[in-house]
Structure 1
Amino acid sequence: MVFPAPLLDLLREEPRRPVFEHGPRVVTRAELLAMIGSMAGALDAKGLRGRAVAFRTSVTPEAFAAQMAAHVLGCRVVGVRPGYSKAQLEHVLAMDVDHVVDDATLPEAGAGSHLTPLGRPGDVAMLAFTSGSTGRPKGCALTYDALDRHWAWQPGVWSPVAREMAAGFERYLLFGTLASMVVFEFLGLALLGGGTVVIPVDPEFPRVYRDLRITGSIFTVPRLTQIIDTGTELPDMRAMMVGGSPISASRLEQAVKLLGPVVYQGYGATEAGSISMLTPRDLPAKADTVGRPHPMVQVRAHEGELLVSSPYLMRDYWNGEENPISDGWYRTGDLGHVDDDGYIHIVGRAREAVMVNAMVVYLGPIERALESHPSVEEAYVVGAPDRATGEAAHAFVVAGDPDIGELKDHVREELGADHVPATITVIDEVPLAASGKPDKKALLSLIVL
C-alpha cells in the first residue's frame, strides 16, 4: 500500500463525517478527498509529477490537502519551517526544489482529479528539517518505503498503546507547522484513528483546550509547564503527548496529579521519527525513563550512546552532510541505556546542543555567529534548563562595551530566532577547568537562572 493510500481509503468511508474543523468551518471526509484529488490534478497539470515541491504554508485544511496531493503524485515534499533566517531559507530552497507553494499559490481545482498514489518505494517522499551543527538546516530524506512502514500512518500495525492514544485523539488540536516531523506523525494517528482535527484561529493558550473541548494534542514541555503553573484543569483531555525537550519525573507527577492519567511522554528525532513512548500506566514506576520503543523499533547502547534501528529511519541528509546511520543504526547523540524491562533511560547528550521550544539548537554556531560580530573577541555558549522554553542557550562574551540587543539581532539574522541566546553576559576572561578547557559550570554560576 503506497503512501498516502491509508488516508485516502479512510476518507472514502463515512464521507459525511467531519475530519477538520477550522474556526467555524467544518470539512468532511468527502470534501477533503475531493480537495486532495483536484489539487493533485492541478499539480499534475503543471508538470510536477514526481518533482520536488516546497511548502511555505500556514496550518489549514487546504495546506494539508495540497501536501497530500503532492504525495499522491509521488513528489518529494519539502517542508519549510517558519522562522528561518534569510540565509537558512535560501539554503533550504536550494535543495533541488522545482516549485514553491505558499498560502497565496495553493493549487486550485485542476482539469481532473487524481487519487492513485504514484510514489515508488525508493523515491524520497519528504525532506524534514533539523538544525545542523553548522547552523544550516539539515534535510532528512524519508522514502516512500519508510512512510509505507511508518508506525503512525499504518493502522494495521498499531500497538495497543497506539490504538489507545488514537482513541484519545477524538478532537485533536493542530497548531504550529505542517513541516514538523512530530506534527506529521501524530496528525496521522489522529486522522487514521477517526478523530476530528481542530485548527484554532488566534488561539489563546491554555484556555483554547477547554474552549474547543480538545481531547488530545501534542504538548511541548513549556506548554505543559504553563498548564501546571496556572493550575489549568482540562476536563475533556484524554491523551496528551509531551515531548521535544527533557522533563523531570517530578514535573510529570505534577501533571498527572492535576490532569489525571492522560499524560504520555515521547522520545524521538527528526532523523528517526518517534522512537518510544511512556504511557500513563508506566508513569508511577518508570517516570525517570522515556518509555519503551514502538513495535519494529530497536534501541541499544554502544559505548554509552543510544543507537536506533527501524524501518522508517531517514535514508540520509539530502545536503550531503555526514550520515549518522551506519549498518542500519542511527546514532542519536544521546547518552543512556535500556534497562532489563526494555525502558529507555537518557542521562545526557554527547552533542553540544539544547532543545529550545522542541527544536534542536547547536551551541557551536551561536559561538561562531557572536564571534563574527566586530565588538566580540571571544564567545562561549552554555545550555541550561529553562521553564519557558524547555532548555535555553546562555552566551558569555569577552568584549569591550557591546550592545546586547545588537548582538541578539546579529544571531537572529545569521541563524534564526531559535538560536538567539536567552542571556548574553560580558566577561573579562573565561574561567578554565582543571583540563584547561572553558569551565561551563563556572560560567553558568555567573548568572541567576
Structure 2
Amino acid sequence: MERPWIKHVVKGNPAEVNIPDISLPALFHESVQKYQNHTAMTFYTKSFTYQQLDTLIKNLAASLHNMGVSKGDRVALMLPNCPQYPISYFASLMCGATIVQINPMYQPTELLHVLNDTETEVIIVLDQLVPLIEKVKPKTSLQAIIPVSFENASKFNELLQDKGLPLPDVTINPKEDVAVLQYTGGTTGRSKGAMLTHYNIVANTLQSHATSVVKTELGKERVLTIAPLFHVYGMTSCMNLTFHIGGNLILVPRFEVDEVVKVIEATKPTVFPGVPTMFITLLNHYKENHFDLSFLKTCISGSAPLPVEAIKQFNALSGTSVAEGYGLSEASPVTHRNPIEGVQKPGSIGIPLPNTDARIVDFATGEQTLPVGEVGELLIKGPQVMKGYWRMPDETAQVIRDGWLHTGDLAKMDEDGFFYIVGRKKEMIITNGYNVYPIEVEDIIYTHPKVMEAAVIGVPDKVRGEAVKAFVVPKEGQQLKDEEITELCRSHLAAYKVPRSVEFLQELPKTAVGKILKRVLKDQIKT
C-alpha cells in the first residue's frame, strides 16, 4: 500500500524499527545495565536509581513467587501514580503473571466486573481503598489483598524486604503471553479487556521512542508523569518509554494545578505527555500565575482531541510545540503522532508510527479504501495491535479483520499522509440528512476567549432527526450567553452545523485520564 507519510518522518528518526522478541522485564533490565546509577523515578522528595528500583522489583517478585503467584495468574493493580506502581508492575510480570489495570476511582459494580471477568486472585491496592475491596471480596476469586501505604508500615513494605528468597524462573513467550489486561473505558457498552502481550507493549515502547530519537538525550530526560499509569497512555508513553530511554519518571498522583506547578518548578521536566484538560488548565492557570516552562523540549497530547486554539497558546507559552497523537487501548496504545520537528499540522493526529499502517475505509463494508480527504473509519495494522479481547472471541472477530484493527473512529487522510479524527462512528450527528462531526463545532467554540471547555452531541429532534447541542464550561469569573456561542458558530460554519441549543455547565463529566464522557451528557438528556 502507498505510505505518503514516510516523506514526513523527521530526519534522524527511523522509518522502521527492529522489534526484539523479548519480555517487558527483559527490556527494563537492559536499561538497568545501561543506566544503573541514573535516577529512575522521583516522587516528591524521594528518588530511586535504576539499580535501587531493580533491587526492589526483584525483592517483590521473589515475595510474590513465594506467595504462589505463578505464570498466567492475574495480579490487579489499583494504585495512583506512585513508586509502588512500577515496582508492582515489573515484579508481577517477572512472575509470569498478567497485570489487570484498575482505576482507583472505580465503584463496586465496575470493580466487580473487572475482578470477576479476570478471576483475579491477588490485588495490590492503596490502603484507603481496602474497605471497598473487602466489601466486594466475597463475590470474587480474590485470595490476597496487599495494601500500599504512603505513610505507615504495610504488607507491601514487608514484601519489599530482601529475605533471600529465590527469584521466579519463568519462561515468557512475548508474542503469546498476555502482559496486561487493559479494560476499555466502557464509554460504549460493556467494558472489555484488551489483551496486550509483552511483544505488543515492547513494540509500542520502541515505536514511540522512534518518533523522538533526534530530540532524546538518553539517560537525561525528565518526564512529567501525571497521566495515570493504570491508563494505557500513562503506562506506555510515560512509564515504559521513560525507563527505555533511561529517563527520570516524575510521578504525580493527581492533577491539582497548584501542586503540579510546584512539581514542575522543582523538577524542571523536559518531556510532558499530557491530555487536553491538563494543557488547557495549565494555560488558564498561567494567565493568573506565571511559571516557567522553558525547559520543556517535547510535549505530547493524547487520549482526546486538543483544540487547535489551545495548541497555539500553549506553544507560545512554553516555546515548544505540542505534538498531538492518537491511540487506543487495543493498540497498546499509540498509532499516530505529529512529527516533533519539520511539518506539523495542528488539528491532525499526525502520521502513523514506524511499523504501522493505517487507512480509511467505507462505512458500509469496512473494506473499501477511500480516496484522500474522504471521511470513513480508521483502520490500523501493526505489532502493537492487541491479541484480542479477553474471553470475547466474537467481539475480537468484529474489530480485528485480516489483521486490521477497526477503531470505530471517523477520520480522513490528507495528501501528505496526515490523519484527522473527526469523531466516533457512534457520535456522528445526522441532522436533516447532513453529517455533522462534533469536533468541527467544538474547535470553533474553543476559539471564544471566555470558553474553558466544550462538548457537542446530537439530541433527538422530531423535525431534523437529530439536533446539534453544545455544552460549554465558561472560564472562571466569565459570563456567557447562548447567542455568543451560536453567533460565533454561524460566522464559521454551515447553518446545519450551528448548535440549536447551548447549555452552560460548571464542569463536564470525564474519565480518569481527562476524556470527556459524552455518553453521560446524552444520558442526562434522556432523563
Measure, in 1, the Cα distance between the counterparts of 2:125 and 2:77: 6
1:91 to 113, 129, 145: 113
Maintained 8 Å contact 2:360/2:411: yes
CA distance in 2, matches of 1:298, 1:22: 38
Structure-2 residue corresponding to 1:228: 283
CA apart distance, 1:115:
7.1
Contact 1:55 1:101 in 2 (8 A): yes
User: Aligned to 1:46, which of 60, 63, 67?
Assistant: 67
Partner of 1:198: 250
Alpha-carbon distance in 1 for matches of 2:248, 2:52: 14
Matched residue, 1:439: 467
Question: Relative to structure 1, is the Cα distance of residues 240 and 332 closer, same or farther in structure 2, using a 3 angstrom cutoff?
Answer: same
**Alignment counterpart, residue 334 of structure 2, candidates 264, 274, 280:** 274
Letter in 2 for 1:161: S
Q: Summarize deviations over 1:248-282 as a string: whole Å, max 9, x none.
A: 33332222222113422111111111011113435
Deviates more, 1:218-227 or 1:269-278: 218-227
Q: Counterparts of 2:340 and 2:110 in 1: how far apart (Å)?
A: 39
Name the structure 1 match of 2:360. 301
Determine the C-alpha separation between the residues in 2 that align with 1:166 and 1:433. Answer: 59
How many equivalent residue pairs? 383
Q: Provide, for residues 303-325 of structure 1, a one-character-per-residue CA deviation record: whole Å limited to 9, x for no partner.
A: 11110011111112215261211
Q: Is the 8 A contact 1:139 1:318 kept in 2?
A: yes
Matched, 1:143 2:197: yes
SS in 1 for 2:395: coil
The Cα shift of 1:43 comes to 0.9
One-letter amino acid of the structure 1 residue matched with residue 199 of structure 2: D
Distance 1:12 1:334, change over 3 A: same
Q: CA shift at 1:329, angstroms?
A: 0.8
Following TM superposition, by how much is the alpha carbon of 1:326 offset from its aligned partner in structure 2, in angstroms?
A: 1.2
The secondary structure found in structure 1 opposite 2:182 is: strand
Task: Determine which of 161, 171, 178 is the counterpart of 1:124.
Answer: 178
1:81 Cα deviation after fit: 1.0
The share of aligned pairs that are identical, in percent, is: 23
Separation (CA, whole Å) in 2 of partners of 1:265 and 1:290: 5
Q: Match for 1:4 among 5, 8, 25?
A: 25
CA contact (8 A) 2:306 2:347 kept: no
Does residue 69 (structure 1) correspond to residue 91 (structure 2)? The answer is: yes
| Partner residue of 1:313 out of 377, 385, 391 | 385
Q: 1:337-388 CA distances to partner (integer Å, 9 max, x unpaired)?
A: 223322112223212399xxxxxxxxxxxxxxxxxxxxxxxxxxx9984979
Per the TM alignment, residue 201 of structure 1 is displaced from its structure 2 partner at its CA by 6.9
Partner deviation per Cα, 1:66-119 (whole Å, 9 max, x = no partner): 110111121111010122221111001112212112242434335425276632
Cα distance change on mapping 1:10 and 1:113 into 2, 3 Å: farther
User: Aligned in 2, Cα 1:21/1:53: closer, same or farther, shift over 3 Å?
Assistant: same
- Cα gap change, 1:43 to 1:25, in 2 (>3 Å): same
Which is further off, 342-351 or 384-393?
Answer: 384-393
Distance (whole Å) between structure 1 residues aligned to residue 250 and residue 469 of structure 2: 44
Aligned to 1:217: 272
User: What is the match of residue 124 of structure 2?
Assistant: 101
- Do the aligned partners of residues 113 and 11 (structure 1) sit closer, same or farther apart at CA in structure 2, a change above 3 Å counting? farther
Relative distance call for 1:167 and 1:247 in structure 2 (3 A) is farther
CA contact (8 A) 1:292 1:343 kept: yes
1:22 aligns with 2:43: yes
**2:171 aligned with 1:171:** no
SS at match of 2:229: coil
Unaligned runs of 5+ in 1: 355-381, 397-429
Structure 1 residue 29: deviation in Å?
1.2
Distance 1:250 1:438, change over 3 A: closer
Cα contact 1:220–1:243 (8 A) shared by 2: yes
Which one of the candidate residues 322, 332, 339 is aligned to 2:414? 339
- Structure 1 265/133 Cα, relative in aligned 2: closer, same or farther at 3 Å? closer
Cα 1:299–1:10 shift into 2, 3 Å: same
Are 2:240 and 1:188 equivalent residues in the alignment? yes
* Residue identity opposite 2:415 in structure 1: D
Structure 1 CA distance for aligned equivalents of residues 90 and 457 of structure 2: 40
Three-state SS of the structure 2 residue aligned to 1:151 is: helix
The answer as to whether partners of 1:40 and 1:72 remain within 8 angstroms in 2 is yes
Task: Report how far residue 200 of structure 1 moved.
Answer: 4.0
Q: Is the 8 A contact 1:5 1:117 kept in 2?
A: no
Q: Distance in 1 between matches of 2:50 and 2:424?
A: 43
Are the equivalent residues in 1 in contact too, given 2:280–2:452 (CA < 8 A)? no
Contact preservation (8 Å) 1:23, 1:201: no
What SS does the aligned partner of 1:13 have?
Answer: helix
Aligned-pair CA distance for 1:172: 1.2
* TM-score, normalised by the number of residues in structure 1: 0.76
Which residue is equivalent to 2:80? 58
What CA deviation, in whole Å up to 9, does each residue of 1:382-430 have, x standing for no partner?
998497996658898xxxxxxxxxxxxxxxxxxxxxxxxxxxxxxxxx6
Q: Structure 2: where are the runs of 5+ without partners?
A: 1-21, 127-146, 148-154, 363-375, 430-437, 472-498, 505-527
Q: Residue type matched to 1:216 in 2? A: V
Q: 1:267 to 1:34 in 2, by over 3 A?
A: same
- Amino acid of the residue matched to residue 40 of structure 1? A
- Note the C-alpha offset of 1:176: 4.5
Tell me if the contact between 1:305 and 1:350 (Cα under 8 Å) persists in the aligned partners.
Answer: yes
1:27 offset after TM fit, Å? 0.9
Structure 1 residues 3, 446: closer, same or farther in 2, change over 3 A? same
Q: SS of the residue aligned with 1:145?
A: helix
Instruction: Say what the alpha-carbon RMSD is for the aligned residues.
Output: 3.1
Does the Cα contact within 8 Å between 1:20 and 1:196 map onto a contact in 2? yes
